[in-house]
C-alpha cells in the first residue's frame, strides 16, 4: 500500500466530514489545520504500516503523558523548531540581531517577588554548590541602555529542582525566582546558589520516550530569562553553562550559540558577565508574552529590599 490510498475519494470525504468542512459552524482555521493533522496521521499509518495495536499503544502513551507535555515538546525538538521558525520569519521581515531567543521550558511561575538592586535569588541555603554572580547590561539595537526593563529570572537549585515543582518539598516558594526591576542604566546584577543540570523524571513519559529513541533526558545547568521593557520586544531566553558536560548535548535543544557563557570559577564563586540586547517592538504585541498557560502564584511581597 502506498500513500495514494489517502487520495481515494472515500478517504478524502471522510477527512472533509471529520473536519466539518461542509458545516457552517466552527472555526475555519481550526478546520483546515485539523483536516491536515488528521490526514498526516493517516499518511503516517500507511507509510509505516502501523498496526491497530501500535496505534492504540501510541494513544495510550499520549493519554498517560499529559503531565509531562512541557518536557516532551522540547525533548522532541518541537519547541526549538518553533524558535527556528520564528527566527526565519523575523529574518524575512528584516528583524535580526539581538540576543537569540530560546525555549521557555515548562517551569516559569508568574508572580515572583519584584526586586531592585544587586539581588539575591536564593532564599534557601543550598549548601555544597558555588555562589553564582551574574551581571551585565540590557541594551537595545543601537547599544543604548534599555530603561525600566524587568528581568524575570528563574533557575533550579543544586539538585536540579525548581521551587514550586520540587518533589522533595524542601524549597521555599520562589526560591531562585525573581523579577528584577532595572533602572535607567539597564544594568542588572544578581547572585544565587549555582544551579545544576537535571534530567527528566525517571520512568516518566518523557524518559520512556527518550529511552525508546536511544537518547538521554539531561539538560546542562542553565538560567532562564524573560526580559521586558517599554518599547522593546520581550525576549525569552536562557544561558546554559558552557562548562557543563551536557552543554553541547542538551536533550531539550535549548542551548544556542551566543547563549553558552563559561563561568569564571574561583573558590566558592562562579562569575558570568553577560549582556542582553533587545529588539525594538514593532507592534504592540511585541511587548507582551505569548499566551502559553503558565503557573501563577501570588507573591507575598511584591517589592522587597534587595
What residues line the site for Fe ion (CB under 5 A)? 105
**Cβ 86 to Fe ion shortest distance, Å:** 19
**Cβ 159 to Fe ion shortest distance, Å:** 13
* Closer residue to Fe ion (CB): 19 or 200: 200
**Cβ 68 to Fe ion shortest distance, Å:** 14
* Closer residue to Fe ion (CB): 19 or 109: 109
Residue linked to cell 527566527 = 87
**Cβ 226 to Fe ion shortest distance, Å:** 13
**Cβ 163 to Fe ion shortest distance, Å:** 12
Instruction: Tell me the three-class secondary structure of the chain, residue by residue.
Output: CCHHHHHCHHHHHHHHHHCCCCCCCCCHHHHHHHHHHHHHHHHHHHHCCCCHHHHHHHHHHHHHCHHHHHHHHHHCCHHHHHHHHHHHHHHHCCCCCCCCCCCCCCCCEECCCEEECEEECCCCCCCCCCEEEEEEEEECCCCCECCCCEEEEEECCCCCCCCCCCCCCCCCCCCCEEEEECCCCCEEEEEEECCCCEECCCCCHHHHHHHHCCCCCEECCEEEEEEECCCECCEEEEEECCCCCCCCCCCCCCCCCCCCCCCEEECCEEEEECCEECCECCCHHHHCCCCCCCEECCCCCCEECC
Residue linked to cell 504585541 = 285
**Cβ 107 to Fe ion shortest distance, Å:** 6
**Cβ–Cβ under 8 Å, residues 227 and 153:** no
Half-sphere exposure of 291 (CA within 13 A, CB side): 1
**Cβ 80 to Fe ion shortest distance, Å:** 14
**Cβ 161 to Fe ion shortest distance, Å:** 10
* Closer residue to Fe ion (CB): 67 or 91: 67
* Closer residue to Fe ion (CB): 108 or 133: 108
* Closer residue to Fe ion (CB): 108 or 232: 108
* Closer residue to Fe ion (CB): 223 or 299: 223
* Closer residue to Fe ion (CB): 75 or 105: 105
* Closer residue to Fe ion (CB): 105 or 217: 105
CA 194 to chain centre: 19
Q: What are phi and psi of 296, to 5 degrees?
A: -145, 135
Amino acid at each position: 500500500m502506498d500513500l495514494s490510498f489517502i487520495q481515494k475519494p472515500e478517504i478524502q470525504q471522510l477527512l472533509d466530514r471529520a473536519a466539518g468542512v461542509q458545516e457552517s459552524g466552527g472555526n475555519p482555521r481550526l478546520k483546515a489545520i485539523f483536516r491536515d493533522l488528521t490526514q498526516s496521521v493517516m499518511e503516517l499509518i500507511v507509510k509505516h504500516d502501523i498496526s491497530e495495536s501500535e496505534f492504540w499503544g501510541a494513544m495510550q502513551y499520549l493519554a498517560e503523558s499529559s503531565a509531562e507535555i512541557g518536557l516532551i515538546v522540547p525533548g522532541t525538538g518541537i519547541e526549538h523548531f518553533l524558535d527556528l521558525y520564528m527566527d526565519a520569519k523575523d529574518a524575512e521581515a528584516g528583524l535580526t540581531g539581538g540576543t537569540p531567543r530560546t525555549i521557555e521550558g515548562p517551569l516559569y511561575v508568574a508572580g515572583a517577588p519584584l526586586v531592585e538592586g544587586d539581588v539575591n535569588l536564593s532564599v534557601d541555603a543550598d549548601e555544597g554548590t558555588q555562589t553564582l554572580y551574574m551581571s551585565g547590561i540590557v541594551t537595545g539595537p543601537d547599544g543604548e541602555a534599555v530603561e525600566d526593563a524587568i528581568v524575570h529570572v528563574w533557575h533550579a537549585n543544586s539538585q536540579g529542582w525548581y521551587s514550586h515543582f520540587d518533589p522533595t518539598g524542601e524549597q521555599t516558594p520562589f526560591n531562585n525566582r525573581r523579577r528584577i526591576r532595572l533602572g535607567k542604566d539597564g544594568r542588572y546584577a544578581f547572585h544565587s546558589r549555582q544551579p545544576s543540570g537535571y534530567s527528566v523524571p525517571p520512568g516518566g513519559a518523557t524518559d520512556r520516550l527518550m529511552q525508546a529513541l536511544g537518547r538521554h533526558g539531561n539538560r546542562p545547568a542553565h538560567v532562564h530569562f524573560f526580559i521586558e521593557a517599554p518599547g522593546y520586544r520581550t525576549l525569552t531566553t536562557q544561558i546554559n553553562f558552557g562548562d557543563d558536560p551536557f552543554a553541547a548535548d542538551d536533550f531539550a535543544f535549548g542551548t544556542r550559540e551566543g547563549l553558552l557563557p563559561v563561568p569564571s570559577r574561583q573558590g566558592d564563586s562562579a562569575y558570568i558577565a553577560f549582556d542582553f540586547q533587545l529588539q525594538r517592538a514593532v507592534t504592540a504585541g511585541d511587548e507582551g508574552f505569548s499566551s502559553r498557560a503558565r503557573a501563577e502564584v501570588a507573591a507575598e511581597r511584591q517589592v522587597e529590599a534587595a
